Each structure stands twice: as C-alpha cells, then as structure tokens.
Structure 1
Amino acid sequence: MQQSLSDETLAVAERSAEEFSAIHVIESVPIEITEIEGDVLEADGRVKGTVAMSRALVNAQQGLSLNEKRLMMTALRSIDSKKSPYQHGKADGYVTVRVRADEFAAVAALAPRSGEKQAAAAYQGLKEACASLMERKLNYMDGRKRVQLRWVWKATYHDGEGWAEICFSPDLTPHIFLLKSRFVSYQLEFARGLQSIYSWRLLELLMRERDRGILLITVEDLRAVLEIPETYRFADIKRRVVDMAVTELNTKADLVIQWQAIKRGRAVHSLRFEFVENPQGRLGLDS
C-alpha cells in the first residue's frame, strides 16, 4: 500500500514550485560589431585594419596557436578600440564579431586556387581555430595577482557558409574597448603571412615599444611571454625562436630589426632589439 504524502511534505513541494516559477530567464542580446565591409585588401594589396589591445594583454601569456591568433586578431580589426561596446546600440549584451574566410585567408596569405572561391586551407583553418578557441586562456599579472581568463565564451563556425562568430569574454572587454592610454596598436598588415606564433608575439612586444624603437627584455620574461618550452636552452631560443622570428619579421613586416644578447657574467641575461619601420615598405611575401 503506497503511503500518502504528509501535509508538511506537500507544503514544502508547493513552496518549491512557487519559487521555481518565480525565476525569470534574462535573455542577453548580442552587441554585434559589423565586420569591415568590402574587400579585405586595400588597392595596394595591404590588409585593411588595425589591431589594438591593452599592454597587459600584450604582456600576457596568450596561449593561442597560430590559427587561433589569426582568428582573434582578425576579429579585433573590426573593433573601434576608442569606443564603448555599448555605443553599438545595446546596453546589456555581449560583444560578437564575425570573421569571414576571405579575411582569415588574407591574414594568413592563403591565395585561392584556380577555380576556387577561397583556399580550402582557409576554411579548414578557420573551422579548426574556432573549435579549439573555447579552451584557450590567457594569464597576466595585475600587481601581485595572477589573472586568468578565457578569450571567448562562445565561438560558432557556420559550416557551408565560410564564416565564424566570436563572442568575446566579458572580462576581456576592458582590454579591447575604451583604450585611452597604455595600449598597443599595429596594422594587421604587419602580421600578414607570418608562419610562426613566436614571430607574431615578438611583433607585438616590439609594437609595445614603437615610440622608442628599442625593446630590452630579459630572457626569463621573453620565455614567459612567448611561452617558450622550459627545455629550451639559450642556444635553442636563439636558433628556434629569436633568429627565426627576426628573419621572418624583417622579410614579411614593414620593419628592419637588429638584436644582440646582453650577458651578465657568462650567461645571457637579456636581449636588446632595435627596430625601425622599413622606409621601402613591405618587401613581399615571396622574398
């Protein structure tokens, strides 16, 4: 014989039902940042757009692969870093940006094959970067606090349509909007066709010191920011990271860079980079 519920149990159940029904779901409306319209390239073949971010973001351990970096920075080129995201018309939403396959291809310097609308590698690279971006975190120091946050809280690839939708983490907003001082900016053209994440990250460190034209950084800080494996000795860092990155930036970016190692005792303690913008302009991707 089934035992009936007590009056007390029924009363608790009724109160719980009332409390549950009182919960209201708030729908957050996306703040859609329109991607730069028209051809992704200027008439002279240069990639349109400028990337801007806080110095903390540049100094952070970004944790991005090369394709993820291409995706995130292509999204950032559509943002006016001096404005508030809420100037786009909504006051309670999250920031979302579209990145098209042709934009991704231009930044990666992937030319369409004969008869194809876009290089297949661009679609695949955009799709894979979008899929893995959810797991990526960045780390930086705020005084004595170590801050960790995600780049995005949603990333959607539209299969068959050739574009991705990136929803920035709300905690990232102060690092990419309303930037008035202590921020870093550079033309995305500078990074076009880079084949190493080390080259891209070194570029950002150089752009941090753009006014001076000199970057002085300890080997320890370079290892941390560029996320160089702990197993690398300085000889490995020189050959696999610095020499390779400087050569690539001298070839593919509008920069002329020279560097030297500075020793303390017998060990290399820091690196000094001197750089200027190349007065002759870009030398070409195939140089």
Structure 2
Amino acid sequence: MKNEKSKTYNNFDTVVQSNSIIKATHNLTRNELLTFKKLISMVDTKNANRKIYFTKAELVEYLFPQIKGKGVDTCNEYYLRAKNYCKKLMDIILEFNTKERTTCIAFCSKLTWENYQNLVELFFTPDIMPYICEMKKNFTTYQIGMIQKIRSAYATRIYEYCKMHLHKRKWVWVENLNEFKKMLGAEKKYKNRFNQFNVAILKKSVTEINEKTDIAVSYKKLRNGKNIDRIEFTVKKSLNYIPK
C-alpha cells in the first residue's frame, strides 16, 4: 500500500448517492454519519472501484476542523476517534424499506489503518456500489463541506432529505409523521410525543439548516382530527447563503 497515492480532497467535493441511502434506516451518530458521507465523496463514480485510499489527516481535519494548532497528545486523541468511527462503519447495516420488502446491506467489507503511514484503505461491499456509482436517476448530490457545519445527526439527515426533494423539483410535500420518525431512528423515543419531537428535532434541525446551509426549509403540522399525523415541508434554495 505504500506505493499507492491518495488524492487530496476538500470540502467542495461532492457526495453522490442514491435517494435510497438518504431514506435508509440506521443509527449512526453525527460524526459516524459525517465519516460515512466523507468516504462516499471519495468514490470515483465513473469507474465504480470498490477500493478507496485516503489520508488519516484529511479525514481528521474534516471531522475536527478545530484540530489546527493543537498539541501532539490532543491530535493523537482525534486520530484515534477517527479510526474508531471508521471501524464502526464495518458494523453498520443500512436498512432499505419498501412496501414489498426490507433489504439490509453492509456498507464496507475491509478497512486497513496503517500504523506507520498516513494512508487508510477501505473496501466498499459489492452490494452498496449500485447505490453510490453509475446512477442514471433517483440520486442526490451536495458539497461535503455543507454537512460539516451541522452539529446533529438528525439535522444532517433532514438536510439530505430536503436536498433530495429539491433535486426532484418537489418543493412542497407531505410526510407521514410515523414514517418520518422511523427514517430518522426516532420513532421509539418520541412515540406519541409530537411536542417533544417537534422541539428536540424538527425545530432545532430546521433552524440550523436555515442558518448554515444552502437551502431554506419550513414546515407545517397537519392534523387528523385532534392528532398531528403529517408534516408538510417546503424547501427552496437559500437567498442568504454565501459560500465560504
């Protein structure tokens, strides 16, 4: 592996992924999710190569931009955390749900973290490749630096979901509340507790998305009798966002 070269990536690199990945169910934390998306942004979507190389430094600097100017001991701690996030992806299963079936797919099959070099080697599973390569339709793209600014996994997932609808030119749509909670992995914690879900997840996420990203999101609560069972979302390009 020492002769392999890794490309230098930056925050303007693009995440290209199937809409099915955006809608898939999983329990990734915020930093695990950022690691997941960063690795997807490194894929050569035209050549469909399952193997990618990247440097430890580029991943650490993406996950922890505050690392600049820190001492050696602090930096080592961040590198260890980044390594653990990559290892966690070995255990992650993406659950794709349709009316007909549930399909579970592993994300990656092999990880090599060199002890005395700056390179990391990762193999994606064959089953995940159609969801990140050679897609002709039903996919979404965005700059990897956009989600770096978002501080929660819920807000990151809602951002992606809204970008997906923006790509489809579907600026207004209605979500079943229970299905939306399930996609976010919040159905058990907030079952029959809309007010808590609204305050802890929806309001916080939409506020953060509107303040920090390239889209503007709003939503309305829809009732069936006394119960709120749907959410109407509206998304558009932000007029206030200035790329940095």
TM-score range, shorter chain: 0.7 to 0.9
Q: Kindly provide the CA deviation profile for residues 161-192 of structure 1, in whole angstroms up to 9, marking residues without a partner as x.
A: 45533211111011111100111211212201
Cα 1:161–1:122 change in 2 (3 A) is farther
* Percentage identity across paired residues of the two chains: 19
Cα 1:80–1:98 change in 2 (3 A) is closer
- Say whether 1:67 aligns with 2:31: yes
What residue is the counterpart of 2:48 in the other structure?
85
AA matched with 1:96:
K
Cα 1:240–1:157 change in 2 (3 A) is farther
Cα 1:101–1:151 change in 2 (3 A) is same
What residue is the counterpart of 1:57 in the other structure?
21
Checking the alignment, whether the CA contact within 8 Å between 1:109 and 1:192 is kept in structure 2 is: no
Describe how 1:168-247 pairs up with structure 2 within 5 A: 168-210=124-166, 211-232=169-190, 233-247=193-207
AA matched with 1:185:
T
Checking the alignment, whether the CA contact within 8 Å between 1:260 and 1:272 is kept in structure 2 is: yes
- Match of 1:170, SS state, is coil
- Kindly state the Cα deviation for residue 226 of structure 1 after the two structures are TM-superposed: 0.5
Checking the alignment, whether the CA contact within 8 Å between 1:198 and 1:241 is kept in structure 2 is: yes
Structure (1 or 2) with the larger CA radius of gyration:
1
Cα 1:96–1:252 change in 2 (3 A) is same
Q: Kindly provide the CA deviation profile for residues 72-116 of structure 1, in whole angstroms up to 9, marking residues without a partner as x.
A: 2111112243x2426xxxxxxxx1223434433454352234265
- Match of 1:135, SS state, is coil
List gaps (5 residues or longer) in structure 2: none
What residue is the counterpart of 2:216 in the other structure?
256
Checking the alignment, whether the CA contact within 8 Å between 1:152 and 1:169 is kept in structure 2 is: yes
- Say whether 1:280 aligns with 2:243: no
What residue is the counterpart of 1:6 in the other structure?
none
Checking the alignment, whether the CA contact within 8 Å between 1:262 and 1:272 is kept in structure 2 is: yes
Cα 1:261–1:36 change in 2 (3 A) is farther
- Match of 2:53, SS state, is strand
Task: Report the TM-score, using the length of structure 2 for normalisation.
Answer: 0.85
Partners of 2:61 and 2:141 in 1: how far apart?
Answer: 19
- Kindly state the Cα deviation for residue 155 of structure 1 after the two structures are TM-superposed: 2.2
Task: Report the TM-score, using the length of structure 1 for normalisation.
Answer: 0.73
Partners of 1:171 and 1:184 in 2: how far apart?
Answer: 19
List gaps (5 residues or longer) in structure 1: 1-29, 42-46, 87-94
What residue is the counterpart of 1:265 in the other structure?
225
Higher relative contact order (CA 8 A, sep 6+): 2
Partners of 1:145 and 1:34 in 2: how far apart?
Answer: 41
AA matched with 2:58:
E
Describe how 1:64-213 pairs up with structure 2 within 5 A: 64-81=28-45, 83-85=46-48, 95-108=50-63, 110-114=65-69, 119-120=75-76, 122-159=78-115, 161-210=117-166, 211-213=169-171
Partners of 1:185 and 1:152 in 2: how far apart?
Answer: 21
What is the count of residue pairs matched by the alignment? Answer: 237
Partners of 2:215 and 2:12 in 1: how far apart?
Answer: 18
Cα 1:35–1:218 change in 2 (3 A) is farther
Q: Kindly provide the CA deviation profile for residues 190-217 of structure 1, in whole angstroms up to 9, marking residues without a partner as x.
A: 2013221101111111011012223421
Checking the alignment, whether the CA contact within 8 Å between 2:61 and 2:67 is kept in structure 1 is: no
Cα 1:157–1:229 change in 2 (3 A) is farther
Partners of 2:219 and 2:48 in 1: how far apart?
Answer: 39
- Match of 2:160, SS state, is helix
Q: How much is the aligned-residue C-alpha RMSD, in angstroms?
A: 2.6
